[in-house]
């Protein structure tokens, strides 16, 4: 979830499904932008099957031939192409104790301090250095918004999380607090100089009042809250 690197925050319901991962792994993913491979997706609960890339075309062709919507039949077919997921030694999922210790802290600043302490204890473990480098380079406001969003998401429905995401994203696009989303997009996607000038530039300068503005309703009589269609026949999820 690399959104903070472009001045945004992990949206599209991420606060719902990432908050339901083991411990504080969701906080870790959103704050560090760590990308997961296929095996890790299965092991953490975000995916049900691991199908190697070399088998994807075969699976796709097999699925095209299916003439039933029976879930057990489809799952059995996918099982035929699936393999056991094994974690590499450098996977963050093998470091959950440290991740939970650091990313359970109350604020983004405390999380950074905790990681810095672990960096000294662990003797410079690469994953900690990568996490710190990402957080230091990312939008401070986006990081603080994600931390609050993922923790609210733990006790909210998917509809509530999506509605909140829409509201927060609207504030980013309207420049309610700053120009961070446009500046981040410029630095990462257009000019590609990777030198975004965040405003505020540091975590400690992002006040609670600033964060609160993103969670408040947009003050525009023409603006409407997200209206989601009624869901029916939605399959259950492990999350």
The token duo for 83 is 């393999």
The pTM of the full predicted model, rounded to 2 decimals, is: 0.87
Q: Which pLDDT value is given to residue 4?
A: 80
Count the Cβ atoms, other than its own, within 10 Å of residue 162.
Answer: 18
Would you say 89 and 127 are in contact if contact means Cβ atoms under 8 Å apart?
no
Pairwise CA distance, residues 23 & 25, whole Å:
6
**172, 27 in Cβ contact below 8 A?**
no
The tens place of each residue's pLDDT in the chain, 239 residues long, gives 668 888 888 888 999 999 999 999 999 999 999 999 999 999 999 999 999 999 999 999 999 999 888 999 999 999 999 999 999 999 999 999 999 999 999 999 999 999 999 988 866 788 999 999 999 999 999 999 999 999 999 999 999 999 999 999 999 999 998 999 999 999 989 999 999 999 999 999 999 999 999 999 888 888 888 888 876 655 555 55
| Multiple choice CATH, 3-34+105-215, 3.90.1150.10, 3.40.50.300, 3.90.226.10, 3.30.930.20 | 3.90.226.10
SS3 for 159?
A: helix
CA distance 110 to 129: 16
Measured torsion, CA atoms of residues 157, 162, 163, 167, in degrees rounded to the nearest 10: 140
Residue 18 CA: distances (Å) to CA of 25, 98, 218: 8, 18, 26
Decide: 20 and 156 in contact? Cβ < 8 Å. Answer: no
């Amino acid at each position: 979830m690399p959104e903070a690197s472009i001045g945004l925050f992990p949206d599209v319901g991420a606060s719902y499904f990432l908050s339901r991962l083991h411990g504080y792994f969701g906080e870790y993913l959103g704050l560090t932008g760590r990308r997961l491979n296929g095996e890790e997706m299965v092991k953490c609960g975000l995916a049900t099957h691991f199908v190697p890339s070399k088998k994807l075309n075969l699976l796709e062709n097999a699925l095209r031939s299916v003439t039933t919507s029976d879930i057990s039949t489809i799952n059995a077919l996918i099982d035929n192409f699936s393999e056991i997921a094994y974690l590499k030694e450098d996977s963050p999922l093998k470091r959950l104790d440290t991740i939970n210790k650091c990313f359970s802290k109350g604020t983004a600043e405390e999380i950074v301090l905790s990681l810095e302490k672990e960096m000294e204890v662990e003797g410079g473990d690469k994953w900690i250095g990568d996490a710190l480098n990402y957080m230091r380079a990312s939008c401070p406001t986006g990081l603080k918004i994600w931390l609050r969003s993922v923790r609210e998401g733990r006790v909210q429905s998917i509809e509530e999380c999506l509605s909140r995401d829409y509201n927060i994203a609207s504030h980013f696009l309207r420049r309610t607090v700053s120009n961070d989303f446009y500046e981040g997009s410029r630095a990462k996607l257009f000019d590609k100089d990777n030198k975004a000038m965040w405003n505020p530039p540091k975590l400690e300068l992002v006040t609670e009042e600033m964060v609160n503005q993103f969670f408040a309703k947009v003050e525009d009589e023409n603006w409407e809250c997200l209206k989601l269609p009624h869901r029916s026949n939605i399959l259950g999820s492990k999350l």
